[in-house]
Structures are given as structure tokens and as C-alpha cells.
Structure 1
Amino acid sequence: MGIAMEKLKKLNFMGVLPYIGLIFVISVFYITSSGRLFQSYNIRIVIQQTVALGIICLGAVFVYSLGNMDISVGACLGLCTLIIITIVNATGNLLIGFLAALALALSFGLVNGAVSAWLGLPSVVTSLFLMFLGSGLQTIITIKTNTITSDYDFTFWKETSVQILTLVILAVILNYVFNYTKIGRYTCSIGANKECAQQSGINVFKYKIYAYLTMGFCISVASIFVLARTGSSSRLTGNGYHMDVMVALILGGMPLSGGMKSKISAALIGAFTYVLLTNGLTLSGVKVNQVPIVKALIFAIIVILTCRKKGNVLPR
């Protein structure tokens, strides 16, 4: 009985830890930034950054619940923005650009899920290939000009209400899919024990692809908000985004090994905490070149605190 109570207390603590971390980040940087953290202009910046990252993290939850990871996120996001802005400049039609970006992102997801399953490769190997491929294509497309800009009016997508509403709608839909459909339950089961899931009749190949396709869809949606914020795309757009997603999910309480403790809320809490952390460090006077060092230290601490399985620290 005593052991059970100890385990329950530990579980409850780990469940509320991301919320404690969020409150801590808000409190510390509100003080160190002399209140600038909550100025209206800064709040809009935080929302813009959180929405794009949060949408991608929502899709990433499905992949990470498998115990996998995708480091081609940034390259895929960069290509999506390049495709959208190129098509918009040529046709003036954002819908066509989005559909082209969606097709690209879904193709990335299909290759990530299918090839790694067919060849029995760790997903990180396939996504590494796609990362190099995507980065190479970004460089080729922007070889004549480092940055492609557009005169398209993204005012609608810049509206704070539109951004928040989009994030909320996607969060509600994906929360339902993750918690109340086979896709979510089976991806968690695969992450918990792949062999057991297979023996239980779960089609591991199919549900792995579903997870990566979900992430691809989220990347294509997020690319619109990235463009709305920047108004341009370059060979560096999306650079390092895979690490942002990974750190955000960890800050949100996502177990690195996936499994049944995976949760959609990790995407929202983690994205908000991560953006506030980055934004707060800058407002507090930390030099730009020192911010990655601070984030790396925090990342290491969180990994140590949240690792639950010995010998299986990182996603597969």
C-alpha cells in the first residue's frame, strides 16, 4: 500500500511539474524584464511564435508517442514556406500554395513513416536524410536570392484572434483523435511496447504512417503563420525547428520514450513555456549568443528530471 501511494504521489508530481515550470518562467521573467513580458506588443509576439510552434508540436505528439522523433521538421517547414510564397507571388492564390505545401508535408510524413518501417530503420535515420534533402532544396531554390518576399496581404492570418482560434480548433480536434480514437490509443501502445502491440493485432506500419501524416498536416498549417509573421522565406527558414519542438515537448511533460504517458497538453504547455523562456531571456538582458547555452542547460536538467526508463533515454 505504501509503495503504491509513493508511486501515485510521484505520478501526480510529474503531471503538474510542467505547469509549475510555466508559472515559474512567467514569474521570473516578469520580474527580471521589469514587466515588459506582459506589454501588449510583446504579448502579440509571444502569441505569434507560440501558435506556429504549438501547431507543429500538436502533430509531433503523435510521432513522439511512438517513441520516435523527426529531425526533418525544420527543413519541411522551410520548404513549405518557400512553396507557398512562390505560388502566391505567381498566382496570388494562397489556397493553391497551401495545398502544394500540404502535399509536400504529407510526402515527407509518408516517407518518414513508410521507409523506416519497411527497412526497419530508426526513424531518425530517415528523417536525417529528409533534413539534408530539404535543406539542399531550400538552398537551390534561393540560390539567386537569399530571401524571397511577397506583397501578399497576410493581415487576416496576423490577427491574434485568428491565430488563437486556429490553435484551439486544432488542439480540440487532435485531442479527440489522440484520446478517443484508435490512432491515438494505438500509437501510444506502439510506443509503450511495439512487440506487444503487434501481437495484439495492431498494424504498426499503418498507424506509424498515420502519426507522421498528422505531423505533416500540422507543419503545412504552421507554415502559413510563419509566413504571416515574417512575410518572407529564406534558406534558413525553419532552421533548428526540430530542436525547438523537442525541447518544447519535454518542457510540456512529454516522455522522451513515448508510450501511454504521452499527452496532447504537452504540446500547448511546452510551446508556451519555450517561447516565454526564449522571449524572457532576451528581455532580461541575456545576450542573443548566450540564449542557446542557457536553453541547453535547461534542456539537460529537464531530461534528467523526466527520464522514466533506464537505458532508453532518447526517442528512437
Structure 2
Amino acid sequence: MKNKGFEPARYIPFISFAVIFLIFLIASGGKNIMPFNLKAILDQSIVVIIGGLGTIFVVALGSVDMTIGITMALSGVVSSIIVDQTGLEWLIVPSALGIGAGMGLLTGIIVSKFKVPSFMTTLAILIGMRGVINYIQTNSGLHFFPATFKWMNQFSAKIIILVILAALMIYVFEYTKTGKYCKAIGENELAAQYVGVPVQKIRIISYVFSGLTASIASLLTMANVGGTSTTMGVFYELQVMIAIFLGGVLVTGGTTARIYKLLVGAFTITIIENGLILCGYSSSEVSEAVKGVLLMVILFFTIYFNDDSRKKFRFQNQKARQGGKNQ
């Protein structure tokens, strides 16, 4: 059996989470552990977690997806227009999911088929489509969310949706070839290609997953605010990406990508925002500054300890080989 030994990098996000929670526990006088506040933290984390459940497939590749915010907005606005034009409220769900999957498919094809770096591709789509969304909303106005689906804003309904989606994505990410291939590509794309991994196909599928979860987040957001808004999806992609990286996933992806890390990162973000409000600092600038500093610190120590673990692993392997030769 292989002895992996103690790997500090695995525990840094958990330690950070515990320390931050303890700091705000003291600073808020215990307000952050009140039942109503714990429920609020979980409620506020759901949309970020749902978006991350698809995006983590992309991050595992060593890529990024900056389009999930605009996908959230586009799927919400266009599906709402379809419902208003047809009068068929049930169309809100399939049309939103279809638009989300379509955006992911488009992005995946551009990135994989044309070999354009993911950051450049997704950033260009983000900028271009934001202009399209603003034009559509200027001409068509805002739209209300169908009353038939207002149940989606109930806390119990959101928890059920999250649990079902998380279970499905964990299964795909951890136990199917798709998830394993994503991590293999992130570790070494050339080696993955050499052993027969369909890199282009997996990359496209990953972006489709990212688009689908962004559209689900769009439905929950519209159910919460009552419809579309001009700021819908703005900075959503940053929230999701920060949650993933705060959880200890490296930008290079690979085997560092784990869904439990997304959960840790999402709750860490929400606790920071919630704790600052409880302490009287409601300014978004303060919240973003704290998250930025924390992200840099966690990434620094995660990378440092990951490198240290790799060096120890190589050293142990060299000793094992030398021992085998001596025998």
C-alpha cells in the first residue's frame, strides 16, 4: 500500500474556514451562530454552489469559464421573453436550460476546436453578450417570473434542488469517465491525448455542464427577486471562481479539483459577507477586499504545500528505486 503521508495543502481551506467563522463569532457577539443566520448563510450559498457544480468540470481541465454570469442573464431574459410571447409558463424551465446548454456548447466548441485560450474566449463572450443583453432589456423591459414556479424560492425547494444536483454532479465528476478525464487533462493534456482521452469532446461537455448549472442558478435567482433585472449575473462568474479557488482548487485544475472544496469555498465567501454585515460593515468594497486578500493567502499556502508534497513524493520514489536496485 502507498503511504501518502500528511498533506497540509488539503487542510488549509478548512482551517481558513474555521478561523474566519471563529473571528466573526467573537466579533458579532455570537450572532452568526443564531439559527436564523445559519439558515441565511446556507440560503445565500446555494446559487454559488449550483453554478460551481458545473464550472468545476472546466476548472479541472485547467481552464476557466467567465461566461457563467452572462449565461445566467441570457437564459433568464430570453426564457422570460419566450414565456411572455407564448403565454406558456412551463416553457421557462426547458428554454432556460436549453439556452444555458447552448451557450456552453458554443463556448466549448470555440475553445476546443479553434484552440483559443479559455480566458480570452470566455472574456470576449462575456463582454460581447453583456452588450446584447443590455440591448434586449432596453427594448423589451424587465420581465416577471411565472407565478407557477414561485415555489422554487422556498428554502426547502432550493435545498432539494441543490441536493439532487450535487449528488448527480458528484457521481459524474468522481465516478464516471467524464470526470476522471477532466482531471487527467488538467494534470497533463498531452499524456491524456496519448492514452486515448477524447480531449475536445470532454472540453465541450465540461462547458455544457457549466452553462446548464448557470441556467439553473438563473431560475433560482429570478424566483428570488421576482423576475429579471439589469444587474442579473453581474460578477456571478467571479463569485463562483473565487469559491472554487478559496476551497483550495489550483488554477491548473487536475486532481486538486474536488467538489467538497467548492462547498468549503462557497460557505467561506458567504460567511465573510454575512459576518461583515453583522459587524456593521455592509460596504461591498470591504467585502471584496477581504475576499481578495484571503484568496491570495490561501492560494499561496496551497501552492507552497502542494509543491512541498510533490518534492517529498519524488524523494520517496527515488529512495524506493534505489532500495530496489540494491536488493
TM-score (norm 2): 0.85
1:291 and 2:287 correspond:
yes
User: Distance in 2 between the 1:146 and 1:248 partners?
Assistant: 32
> 1:302 corresponds to which residue?
298
1:268 aligned to which of 263, 270, 295: 263
What is residue 8 of structure 1 aligned with on the other side?
5
Q: Distance in 2 between matches of 1:252 and 1:92?
A: 43
Are 2:248 and 2:299, in contact at CA under 8 Å, matched by a contact in 1? no
Contact 1:158 1:229 survives alignment (8 Å)? yes
- Contact 1:62 1:178 (C-alpha < 8 Å) held by counterparts: yes
Per the alignment, residue 167 of structure 2 pairs with 172
CA shift, 1:235, in A, is 2.6
User: Given the alignment of the two structures, is residue 204 of structure 1 paired with residue 196 of structure 2, yes or no?
Assistant: no
> Which among 219, 222, 225 is matched to residue 227 of structure 1?
222
Question: Following TM superposition, by how much is the alpha carbon of 1:93 offset from its aligned partner in structure 2, in angstroms?
Answer: 4.2
TM-score, L = length of structure 1: 0.88
Q: Secondary structure of the residue that 2:228 maps to in structure 1?
A: strand
Quick one: which of 104, 108, 111 aligns to 1:109? 104
Q: Is the 8 A contact 1:158 1:225 kept in 2?
A: yes
Q: Does residue 75 of the first structure (1) align with residue 75 of the second (2)?
A: no
| Letter paired with 2:294 | I
Conserved 8 A contact 1:142-1:148: no
Q: 1:181 to 1:24 in 2, by over 3 A?
A: same
- Paired residues for 1:115-126 under 5 Å: 115-126=110-121
In the alignment, what sits opposite 2:311? none
**Contact between 1:138 and 1:234, CA under 8 Å: does it hold in 2?**
no
Identity %: 30
2:89 aligned with 1:59, yes or no? no
Deviates more, 1:92-101 or 1:133-142: 92-101
Matches within 5 A, 1:77-156: 77-91=72-86, 93-144=88-139, 147-150=142-145, 152=147, 154-156=149-151
> What's the counterpart of residue 24 of structure 1?
19
The 8 Å contact of residues 175 and 264 in structure 1, kept in 2 or not, is answered as yes
One-letter amino acid of the counterpart of residue 258, structure 1: G
Against the structure 1 CA distance between its residues 145 and 292, is the aligned structure 2 distance closer, same or farther, given a 3 Å change threshold?
farther
Quote the residue 2:320 is aligned against: none
Q: Provide the aligned length of Structure 1 versus Structure 2.
A: 304
* Greater C-alpha radius of gyration: 2
Measure the CA separation in 1 of the matches of 2:39 and 2:88: 26
Q: Is the 8 A contact 2:96 2:219 kept in 1?
A: no
Give me the CA root mean square deviation: 2.3
**Alignment partners' CA distance in 2, 1:109 and 1:37:** 37
| Aligned-partner SS, 1:233 | coil
Q: Which amino acid aligns with 1:259?
A: G
User: How many Å apart are 1:240 and its aligned residue?
Assistant: 0.8
Q: Are 2:194 and 1:191 equivalent residues in the alignment?
A: no
Contact kept, 8 Å, 1:83 with 1:97, in 2: the verdict is no
Question: For residues 199-257 of structure 1, what are the alpha-carbon distances to aligned partners after superposition, in whole Å with 9 as ceiling and x for unaligned?
Answer: 11111000111111111111111111111221132231111111111110112121221
State the shift of 1:278 in Å. Answer: 1.4
Q: What's the offset of the Cα at 1:84? A: 3.4
User: How many angstroms apart in 2 are the aligned matches of 1:291 and 1:18?
Assistant: 18
Given that 1:108 and 1:130 are in contact with CA atoms closer than 8 Å, whether structure 2 keeps it comes out as no
Secondary structure of the 1:234 match is: coil
Give the Cα–Cα distance (whole angstroms) in 2 for the partners of residues 229 and 160 of structure 1. Answer: 10
Range that drifts further, 298-307 or 91-100: 91-100
- Cα 1:89–1:36 shift into 2, 3 Å: farther
Once the two structures are TM-superposed, the CA of residue 173 in structure 1 deviates from its matched residue by 1.1
Offset of 1:45 from its aligned partner? 3.3
Which residue, 37, 41, 47 being the options, matches 2:42?
47
Q: Which structure shows the higher helix fraction?
A: 2
